Amino acid sequence: MSDPLLEIDDLTVQYETDGGMLTAVSNASFTISEGEFFGLAGESGSGKSTLAKSVIGGLDDNGQISAGSIKYRGEEIQDLSESELSERIRWKEISWIPQGAMSSLDPLQRVSDQALEIGNVHTDLPDEEIREKLKETFDIVGLQESRIDNYPHQFSGGMQQRAIIALALFLEPELVIADEPTTALDVIMQDQIFKYLDRMKAELDVSVLLITHDISVIFESCDSVAIMHASQIAERGTTDAVHANPRHPYAFMFKEAFPDIREPKRELEVIEGHPPELMGDVDFCSFADRCPWAAPECRAGAPPSEPVNDDDASHVTACVRKDEAYELYQSEAAPTQGETGGQSVTQMGEVD
């Protein structure tokens, strides 16, 4: 892996709502390098799609980047106009498979015509070359080349999803943002899609930001991972480091909430409660109300992301109790509410 491709630095994204400014992403930072597969995981509502949309200029009208920066190949892109983003960045540099992408195929147009439309707007390539490129990517995602002239209804759901992936890939972008690309599919099809994503990594040398609530998928297919809880990145690092040595209570509980082929007999964790809806600045740990190990300082400021091992920025966590929480969890010695001084701490596991 080499130069940084995408650098998100201290990014805060908010939505204007009737109740005030809702914070969907709070001071998030991470970098995706060339050729890297980066997974972004977290429960529903944690801000994953908002973060992705802010990169590609696709925030809803009531959304705004309130602070921080997004750099693509060193250039700040968060303030680019709609037309600049469309001309220079979208499809050619960064393509996006939006959440619920099945509905993004136009049912009245052949897939090849949809590709021609995109190709004609974003490149100077002649039509025949655009068709050739689409055929090549159809092949990569396991669709017959001859089917580029099909209408969407002629495909099964899994094939439609692969056609969408092919459309995201055929202009050879540097970075593909795939937001829950397999959610609507059965397990076998999900597995196949990930095989195609792997093939894409090998053959096209593309970087991927893979967004999913299913962290086991990320542990299997990504180089790095960030785990988000209610707008904040709780923990981030190489997949191996986060898998082997998670430090933030949300990170290890979330990890343990999913099956792991390496530990087939383990019981799955249940994280009690729901992520809060956050209005205004988030100047506390957003997991504090659900965390069995919350201490008063967790609510006294947003915990900074700090290296798990001294000076090693490849694995960071935003927990003031990073040096002790995992051991406490493993020994099932979660402190009671009274001991922590917290107000609404949820007790996990068995209590006498």
Ligand X SMILES: Nc1ncnc2c1ncn2[C@@H]1O[C@H](COP(=O)(O)OP(=O)(O)OP(=O)(O)O)[C@@H](O)[C@H]1O
Of 206, 180, 194, 4, whose CA–CA distance to 102 is shortest?
Answer: 180
CB of 64 to ligand X, least distance (A): 11
For the chain, where are the alpha helices, taking DSSP H only?
48-56, 82-84, 111-122, 127-140, 157-169, 187-204, 215-221, 239-244, 249-256, 325-330, 337-340
Which of Mg ion, ligand X, none sits in contact with 213, Cβ below 5 to 8 A by type? Answer: ligand X
Q: Are 4 and 31 in contact (CB under 8 A)?
A: yes
CB of 295 to ligand X, least distance (A): 26
37-76 binders of Mg ion (CB under 5 A): 49
- Give contact residues for ligand X (rule: CB under 6 A): 15, 17, 22, 24, 42, 44-50, 60, 62-63, 99, 213, 277
Which of ligand X, Mg ion, none sits in contact with 47, Cβ below 5 to 8 A by type? Answer: ligand X
CB of 24 to ligand X, least distance (A): 4
CB of 236 to ligand X, least distance (A): 16
Q: Residue 99, interface with Mg ion (CB under 5 A)? A: yes
What is the pattern of x (binds Mg ion, CB under 5 A) and - over residues 2-41?
A: ----------------------------------------
Which of ligand X, Mg ion, none sits in contact with 50, Cβ below 5 to 8 A by type? Answer: ligand X
CA distances from 216 to 39, 41, 184 (A): 10, 10, 17
The residue (of 49 and 221) whose beta carbon lies closer to Mg ion is 49
The residue (of 51 and 171) whose beta carbon lies closer to Mg ion is 51
304-323 binders of Mg ion (CB under 5 A): none
Q: Are 210 and 36 in contact (CB under 8 A)?
A: no
The residue (of 22 and 325) whose beta carbon lies closer to ligand X is 22
Q: Are 198 and 255 in contact (CB under 8 A)?
A: no
CB of 78 to Mg ion, least distance (A): 20
One-letter amino acid at 35 equals: G
CB of 49 to ligand X, least distance (A): 3
The residue (of 228 and 241) whose beta carbon lies closer to ligand X is 228
Radius of gyration of the chain from its Cα atoms, rounded to whole angstroms:
21
The residue (of 271 and 308) whose beta carbon lies closer to ligand X is 271
The residue (of 46 and 161) whose beta carbon lies closer to ligand X is 46
DSSP state of 40: E
Q: Count of residues binding Mg ion (CB under 5 A)?
A: 2
Q: Are 200 and 169 in contact (CB under 8 A)?
A: yes
The residue (of 100 and 301) whose beta carbon lies closer to ligand X is 100
DSSP 132-196: HHHHHHHHHTT--GGGGGS-GGGS-HHHHHHHHHHHHHTT--SEEEEESTTTTS-HHHHHHHHHH
Name the residues that contact Mg ion, by CB under 5 A.
49, 99
